[in-house]
Structure formats: structure tokens, C-alpha cells
Amino acid sequence: MSAPAAKKVMREPIESGCPDGFQYMHPTMRRNYGQWKYHEDVQPGVLVHVAYSGEKIYTVRCGTQRILDVFTLRKLMDIGDQYSDGYIHFTIRSNMEFQTDDESKVQPLVAALEDAGFPVGGTRNSITSMSHTQGWLHCDIPGTDASGVVKAMMDEFYDEFKSWNMPNRVHMTTSCCQINCGGQGDIAINVQHTKPPKIDHSLVGNVCERPSVVARCPVAAIRPAMVDGKPSLEVDEKKCICCGACYPPCPPMQINDHQYTQLAIWIGGNHSNARGKPTFQRLVAAGIPNNPPRWPEATAVVKKILECYKEGGRDWERMNEWVERIGWPRFFEVTGLPFTKYHIDNWRGARNNLNSSTHIRF
């Protein structure tokens, strides 16, 4: 009689999702999770949270250059080991936060970060660091180096990061293509392609037998065509809206161009629904040269907008609220930005079905 077959052991699936954040939290935060009574801003870049239990935890926020080499990371981790019990976290804007429940370590921690070249700030009514998309380092389709734009601009706003001089917080974002990741902000600096893609016909046949990119175009501007007796593609340039959606799945649709891939600036985006509905950002400047390594033209426009907001905004008014109060004509007057027909938003497609607010509606 043969032995019974061994029971099959099923392999556990490997869970590769987001890890449990609690394991990385400072023990004082973990103990008081959801039990905070209030918090205070001690000084720019420093917060204290007080729990119902009476425990306190201090958070010190500093700016980084976002793309961190291993030596810089080690330097920051050493500071964390010395002053914040080895607990740190990153914010979505690549600020780093160090936590400690020992008040006597706060000022030495601030000094250690500043001495190592990491400015402490970015809280309350400051210009906090800019969020940005992956850029050349992690993505294959960018039209600019988003992290470079952040570094160049934040160098200009260094003092505003370290102080509380703006009417309210300023969240800026930058995006290296127009269609995928990236967000909106009080000010957003986004890539804008201004010419339809050029097709590299020699590549099409090598890359794809039946180009599915035809289905990718939102305005049906791409169609199969015979070029020099070989199957390829063509673009109806009158229809093309230069969105760039065809380039990611189909490298022969070459749209990145040193001259015609430019930057556009949008303002007034706000995800918060604390005092009113969230708002979409609006285009205020386009055709700005995508000019590495310091992007001086884009930086000058952003600087001008921020100066006007700082000058004209009332206390705690976010950028969208400031513009709503003074009106768009006045915004273009005070900033000196040219108003063109391209600034008129006449798209009404989703007026009824785009739920842009979490407020209850009947």
C-alpha cells in the first residue's frame, strides 16, 4: 500500500503593498495615536503636540534637496539617532520630520540640522517645499527634470521657507508631463507640449505590429498609414491637442522637444474643503522656456505671483481665496502677466457630474 500523498503547502502571497506605518512611529506618537488635545507652533519648523494623557511630542521639520545620495541620508540618519531616538519621517513634499519627546533636545536638533545645511521651516504660513513628480530619475517620459525645478526655485524661497511671512501656507507643485502623476497646488509649474508629436517611422514597425496607440489618443488624431510602403502611423495635426498621451506607450511618437516643450504656470488649486469647496487651479502663464539648470524665467513668474500674494493677501487667505476676492482681472493687473484668449476656461463638460466637493449636496 503506497504512503498517502503529502499535503500540498500553499505558498503565502508576498504582500508588497504599503507597510504598516505604526512600526515607524515614535513610541510617544504610537501611545497617543488619535488622542491629541491640541498642537502649537513653537517657532518656524517646530511643532509640539500635546496629548490628553499629558505627554508631549516635538516635531522638527527641515527641507532636503529631495533626491538624496547615500552620504546625505547617512548624515540625516545620524542626526536622527542622536536627537530623535532614531525616528524620522518624510512628508509628501520631501521635507523631513524628526520627533522627540525630550524638550531639551529640540534646539540642539534645530542647530544640528542647520549646521549640516538643512533649513528648518516649512510649517504654518511659510512657503513649504514643493512636491514634484519623478522626473528623469524614475520615469521614462518626462519633459523636464521636476526635481531640478524644485531645487532651483526653493533656493530662491529659502528665507520664506524659514519664516512665517506669507498670508497662509503656500503649497507648490511641479509636474514633468501633463497627463500622469502630479497634482495641483497654490502654484503649479507643469510641462506643456506645444507641438504635435513627430513620428519616427523607422521605429514603428520595429516596436509594434498593430499600434494600439491609435486607441490612446483622446481626440482620435492618430490613424494607421502606409509610409514608404511600410505600415506606420500619421497624426492629424489639426485635431491634436499636444497632450503627450501617445508618447508613453509609443516611443516613436516623439513629442519632447528642447524648444516646443515648455512650462505653464497654474494657480489657485486647493484640495482643502475646510472653509469652502476645493478649487481647481487655473492657467496664468504659458510658453515659459523649459530652461535648465536654474529655470530663471519660470522662477521669475512664480516669484512675482508670490510677491503680489504676500503684499495683497489678507491674514490666512489662501491663494485661491485672494484671487477670488480681488478678481481675475485685478490678478493679471497686479502681477503684470499678460492675459490671453488661452486663459479663458470655457470647458463646461462636467459641470453637472464632476463632484469637486465633499460637502453634502441634495
Taking phi first (over 0 means left), then psi (-120 to 50 degrees means alpha), and beta for anything else, what does residue 228 get?
left
Tell the residue number behind the cell numbers 504676500, with chain if given.
Answer: 310
User: What is the Cα–Cα distance from 284 to 332, expressed in whole angstroms?
Assistant: 8
Residue 196 is a binding residue for ligand SF4 (CB under 6 A): yes
Pairing of strands 172-175, 187-193: parallel
> At how many degrees (to 10) do helices 296-312 and 328-335 cross?
120
Min dist. Cβ of residue 323 to ligand SF4 (A): 25
Residue 47 is a binding residue for ligand SF4 (CB under 6 A): no
Q: What is the DSSP letter of 358?
A: -
Residue 137 is a binding residue for ligand SF4 (CB under 6 A): no
Nearer to ligand SF4, 120 or 188 (CB): 188
Min dist. Cβ of residue 243 to ligand SF4 (A): 4
Residue 57 is a binding residue for ligand SF4 (CB under 6 A): no
Residue 197 is a binding residue for ligand SF4 (CB under 6 A): yes
| Range in contact with ligand SF4 (rule: CB under 6 A) among 52-60, 117-125, 136-144, 308-316 | 136-144
User: What is the Cα–Cα distance from 306 to 317, expressed in whole angstroms?
Assistant: 13
| Range in contact with ligand SF4 (rule: CB under 6 A) among 84-92, 212-220, 302-310, 353-361 | 212-220
Min dist. Cβ of residue 143 to ligand SF4 (A): 7
User: What is the Cα–Cα distance from 164 to 46, expressed in whole angstroms?
Assistant: 12
First vs last Cα of the chain: how many Å apart? 73
Nearer to ligand SF4, 127 or 235 (CB): 235
3-class DSSP assignment, residue 9 = coil
Residue 302 is a binding residue for ligand SF4 (CB under 6 A): no
* Per-residue mark of binding to ligand SF4, 145-184 (x: CB under 6 A): ------------------------------xxx--xxx--
**Residue 262, beta-bridge partner list:** 192
Min dist. Cβ of residue 155 to ligand SF4 (A): 21
Q: Of 80, 244, 269, 313, which one interacts with ligand SF4 (CB under 6 A)?
A: 244
Nearer to ligand SF4, 193 or 318 (CB): 193
User: What is the Cα–Cα distance from 317 to 337, expressed in whole angstroms?
Assistant: 21
User: What is the Cα–Cα distance from 178 to 48, expressed in whole angstroms?
Assistant: 38
Type of residue numbered 149: V
Q: Of 122, 142, 185, 313, which one interacts with ligand SF4 (CB under 6 A)?
A: 142
Residue 241 is a binding residue for ligand SF4 (CB under 6 A): yes
Write out the three cell numbers for 347.
470647458
Write out the three cell numbers for 326.
480681488
Nearer to ligand SF4, 172 or 246 (CB): 246
**Cβ count near 284 (within 10 Å):** 22
CA dihedral (43, 45, 46, 50) positive or negative: positive
Q: Of 219, 230, 333, 342, which one interacts with ligand SF4 (CB under 6 A)?
A: 219
3-class DSSP assignment, residue 89 = strand
Number of residues that bind ligand SF4 (CB under 6 A): 28
* Per-residue mark of binding to ligand SF4, 255-294 (x: CB under 6 A): x---------------------------------------
Which of 300, 299, 305, 292 has its CA nearest to residue 135?
292
Task: Give the footprint of ligand SF4 on this chain (CB under 6 A).
Answer: 133-134, 139, 141-142, 175-177, 180-182, 196-197, 216-217, 219, 221-222, 235, 240-246, 253, 255
